[in-house]
């Protein structure tokens, strides 16, 4: 631990509770928007000060998520410009929507955590005094809801992160800093998708189709479905990903490259084209039965690819089943054949991150060892752009990636202060 100084090199630790005026962070600037490996650069910036209800966290490790691929590209939203239009002064973005670390300072009116607490952070932020929340709305549906480290600045790719007090959850003691930083965003999102929309929640024996089984969301979804007694069936794009899905608990795995009917629906009046599409969708359905081992349709389809897969997801879901979606990675123009929606009374449900109870429930599953963070690769802060580039190109290894921020090496579960 070093004496009080203006800024600390990565790897040095200030005295607990001392907040240096400056910090190192990996920044995105508008002039660097583009390929993620060019967009991020480590710079020195002023350390933010926690206001009422806020907490300043010494970041030990940060998680890598797809949202900062979008932030780096500057599309579909220029997050810096969007914040400036609402009055923010900073002309940079410090991304990072997942972290493990230590509470270093608190603003007024914070009673839920104290300096020295080891925490993991959730990315769901809202105005606790918002009218809609006071009237009973789930905070994630509030007009004030936003994602920290994406829509809001001061994310975890900096030595200090600034969050609201309710974003802090106890760090699972058994986990390394880098594993603890890897799971909350994808885990809690998957938890809300699978458990947050009753009566369509995973029950004992329910088959569930999970797109992107080796991805961040998919790796969490497989484990949650398994822990709930459901039957996870994963979809991937190559056979070398099968083993990972089985390790996570999948009963069966499908290779989507064996089919070619993906993308938007042909016009329903074009009998030939529609017939060809239907043949592909039926073949996919038959494959689902084959890997499941019985002729049952999925009660829930866990969606995020969007445009490429939604027509198939809606076709394959069980009568009165649910397609629950949190993204449109392959595109946003997803076609719905309404006949399946109304005649078979299926539910197409949007879902976005998670509320405090859902984050806590997912965190407890990790503490109890029911959900593993599925940590794949770990990078130093200097390579945060490379990690996002791998994700952008879908070349990352199965599971979730982490960044060592103030942690000096992999494998540490605590910091001597
Ligand atoms: N709204 C929210 O709260 C929320 C939260 C977390 C993530 N997201 C979003 O969800 C998406 C996925 O996130 P992630 O962390 O799971 O990303 P990820 O780790 O990159 O995994 C996504 C997986 O999707 C599969 N995939 C990609 N293109 C596909 C296509 N055309 N058809 C079918 N599958 C495809 C890939 O698996 P295969 O190539 O093996 O099939 C990939 O592994 C991103 O757009 C992210 O921004 C939203």
Of 260, 345, 346, the closest CA to residue 303 belongs to 346
Fold of domain 22-183+374-404: Quinone Oxidoreductase; Chain A, domain 1 (3.90.180)
What confidence tier does 3 reach under pLDDT thresholds 50, 70, 90? confident
pLDDT at 1: 58
* Mean pLDDT over the full length of the chain: 97
Does residue 150 sit in helix, strand or coil?
A: coil
Determine whether the shortest distance from the Cβ of 364 to ligand 1 is under 6 A.
Answer: no
How does pLDDT run across 174-194, given as a tens digit for each residue? 999 999 999 999 999 999 999
Determine whether the shortest distance from the Cβ of 146 to ligand 1 is under 6 A.
Answer: no
| Whether pLDDT at 412 is above 70 | yes
- Answer yes or no: same fold for 22-183+374-404 and 187-350: no
| Distance in Å, CA 46 to ligand 1 centroid | 34
Match domain 187-350 to its CATH number in 3.20.10.10, 3.40.50.720, 3.40.50.300, 3.30.1330.10.
3.40.50.720
What confidence tier does 251 reach under pLDDT thresholds 50, 70, 90? very high
Name the pTM for this structure.
0.97
* Cα–Cα dist 248/398, whole Å: 11
How does pLDDT run across 102-125, given as a tens digit for each residue? 999 999 999 999 999 999 999 999
| Distance in Å, CA 394 to ligand 1 centroid | 9
- The full set of domain ranges for the chain reads 22-183+374-404, 187-350
Report the helix count and the strand count for the chain, using DSSP H and E.
13, 17
Which protein residue has the closest C-alpha to ligand 1 atom 39? 237
How does pLDDT run across 281-332, given as a tens digit for each residue? 999 999 999 999 999 999 999 999 999 999 999 999 999 999 999 999 999 9
* Cα–Cα dist 374/291, whole Å: 23
pLDDT at 30: 97
| Distance in Å, CA 347 to ligand 1 centroid | 21
| Distance in Å, CA 6 to ligand 1 centroid | 41
């Amino acid at each position: 631990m070093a004496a009080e100084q203006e800024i600390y090199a990565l790897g040095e630790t200030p005295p607990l509770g001392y907040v240096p005026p400056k910090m190192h962070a990996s920044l995105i600037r508008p002039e660097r928007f583009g390929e993620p490996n060019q967009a991020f650069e480590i710079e020195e910036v002023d350390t933010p000060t926690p206001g009422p209800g806020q907490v300043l966290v010494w970041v030990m490790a940060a998680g890598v998520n797809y949202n900062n691929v979008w932030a780096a590209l500057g599309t579909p939203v220029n997050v810096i410009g969007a914040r400036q239009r609402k009055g923010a002064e900073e002309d940079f973005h410090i991304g990072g929507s997942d972290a493990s670390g230590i509470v270093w300072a608190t603003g007024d009116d914070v009673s839920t955590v104290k300096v020295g607490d080891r925490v993991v952070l959730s990315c769901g932020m809202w105005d606790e005094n918002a009218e809609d929340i006071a009237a009973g709305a789930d905070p994630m549906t509030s007009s004030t809801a936003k994602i920290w480290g994406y829509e809001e600045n001061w994310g975890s790719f900096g030595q200090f992160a600034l969050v609201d007090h309710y974003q802090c959850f106890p760090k699972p003691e058994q986990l390394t800093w880098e594993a603890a930083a890897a799971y909350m965003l994808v885990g809690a999102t998957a938890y809300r998708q699978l458990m947050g929309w009753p009566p369509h929640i995973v029950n004992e024996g329910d088959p569930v189709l999970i797109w992107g089984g080796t991805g961040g969301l998919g790796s969490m979804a497989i484990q949650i479905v398994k822990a709930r007694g459901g039957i996870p069936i994963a979809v991937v794009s190559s056979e070398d990903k099968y083993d990972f899905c089985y390790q996570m608990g999948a009963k069966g795995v499908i290779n989507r490259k064996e089919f070619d009917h993906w993308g938007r629906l042909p016009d329903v009046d074009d009998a030939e084209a529609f017939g060809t599409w239907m043949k592909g969708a039926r073949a996919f359905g038959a494959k689902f039965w084959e890997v499941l081992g019985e002729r049952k349709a999925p009660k829930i389809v866990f969606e995020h690819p969007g445009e490429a897969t939604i027509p198939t997801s809606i076709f394959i879901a069980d009568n009165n089943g649910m397609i629950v979606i949190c993204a449109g990675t392959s595109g946003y123009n997803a076609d719905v054949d309404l006949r399946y929606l109304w005649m078979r009374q299926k539910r197409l449900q949007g879902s976005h991150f998670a509320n405090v109870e859902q984050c806590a429930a997912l965190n407890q599953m990790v503490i109890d060892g029911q959900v593993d963070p599925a940590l794949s690769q770990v990078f130093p802060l200097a390579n945060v752009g490379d990690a996002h580039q791998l994700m952008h190109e879908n070349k990352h290894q199965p599971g979730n990636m982490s960044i060592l921020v103030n942690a000096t090496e992999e494998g540490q579960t605590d910091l001597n202060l």
